[in-house]
Structure 1
Amino acid sequence: MADFTIKALGPETFGDFAALVERNGGMFAGCWCTKFHPVCAEDSGVDARARKERLVADGIAHAALVYDGDRAVAWAEYGTPEELPGIHHRKEYLATADRLPDYRITCILVERGLRGRGLAALALRGAVDLIARAGGGIVEGYPHDTRGVRKKNSSFLYNGTRTMYEREGFSYDRPKGLGNCVMVREVAASPADPVPRTRKGKETS
């Protein structure tokens, strides 16, 4: 994996992110990785790309981008529960939660044609590293629990697999919905090259 590098999503890298999304048809029905963000009244009528760009410009959309040279080829979206409240199976999740995490990883995607090369795990690792640089804390991910299940099309694995998270140091917490689960890891703060901490807030049902 030495040929790949990680950069944070920001105004200066948004064009690279946008090119990746456009090459892959908008991703997941054209959501532009906005599905888990709050829908604001002022966004009414705004297309998904413009909404995502505004969130990035405002510093309330975060992701680790995996680069092959100068081309972004994968990403892992992360943020606080305030930033990313709209997770799947949210009602069940809140009913079974003892506490909310400091950060959650909600979406991991690899460009078509490059899947199966470990880039999803690299994107997850990049997100964890960026969270550490922002101060660390309790981090959750919500991957597919494919144990005992026939091989699933990678196009539907929007947040990787339980096995991948386990390899990256996450522990199984509980099931979530049909076929997904909650994985947890405590991430220590990294003293090197700090980045601004994302906003925190409470999530309500």
Structure 2
Amino acid sequence: MPDVRPLSPDTWDAYAALIERHKGVWGGCWCIGFHTRAFAGAEANRETKRQMVEAGTTHAALVFDGGACIGWAQYGPTASLPEIKNRKAYESSCEGDLPDWRVTCFFTDARHRKAGVSADALAGAVDLIARSGGGTVEGYPEAVEGQKTSAGFLYCGTLGVFERAGFTANRRIGKHRWVARRTVEAA
């Protein structure tokens, strides 16, 4: 497995450097968007994310190439990531069986796209979830087979990446968005 490390105070600088190289990622989100709908601006989001990392209330599997962070998969307990895409359709089709964990967001450095970084990050997230006790895990990827889609817009991952990681397409919640589910055993 490639070099995957958890987001922590020790990896913050490498994580922040990747985001800063990409102008805050998606207009300054700093991977706050799945935690809250409130967008406070790039600098405030950066500080909020840094505080969350210091407090241990946000999680990501970071993929490294040498000392540089080149991508990640954000994951966490369901309650900490309530702002999923297609939430209304998700809630209307959910039968009360919420997952223990969610994988909500992927980002890959532009120089490393289409090289398997998302798959490495997802495998790392699954491993970190297993080490944290495991449980039911969901992601909300796009089914992209047969359509032209810019890799930069696949921030929830692709269904194929999830399926290759052992997830099963559970139900559709958007034109191309699926709920992908897997049970992860504790390590």
Q: Do they fold alike, i.e. is TM over 0.5?
A: yes
Please name the residue that 1:156 is paired with: 153
Give 2:163's match in structure 1, choosing from 148, 161, 166. Answer: 166
Give the alignment's Cα RMSD to 1 decimal: 1.6
Q: Specify the code of the residue in structure 2 equivalent to 1:77.
A: Q
- Flag as ranges the 4+ runs of structure 1 deviating above 2 A: 43-46
Give 1:187's match in structure 2, choosing from 162, 184, 187. Answer: 184
Per the alignment, in what secondary structure is the counterpart of residue 47 of structure 1?
helix
Contact preservation (8 Å) 2:3, 2:65? yes
Aligned-pair distance for 1:105? 0.1
Please name the residue that 2:50 is paired with: 53
Instruction: Report the structure, 1 or 2, having the larger helix content.
Output: 2
Partners of 1:39 and 1:104 lie apart in 2 by 17
Query: Number of residue pairs matched?
Result: 185
User: What fraction of aligned residue pairs are identical, expressed as a percent?
Assistant: 44
Give 1:133's match in structure 2, choosing from 106, 126, 131. Answer: 131
Q: Deviations over 1:122-150 (max 9, x none)?
A: 000000000000000000001101133x2
Partners of 2:11 and 2:172 lie apart in 1 by 35
Partners of 1:73 and 1:102 lie apart in 2 by 27
TM-score by length of 1: 0.86
Q: Deviations over 1:29-49 (max 9, x none)?
A: 210000011368xx9687110
Unaligned runs of 5+ in 1: 191-205
Unaligned runs of 5+ in 2: none
Matches for 1:31-42 after TM superposition, within 5 Å: 31-38=29-36
Matches for 1:100-115 after TM superposition, within 5 Å: 100-115=98-113
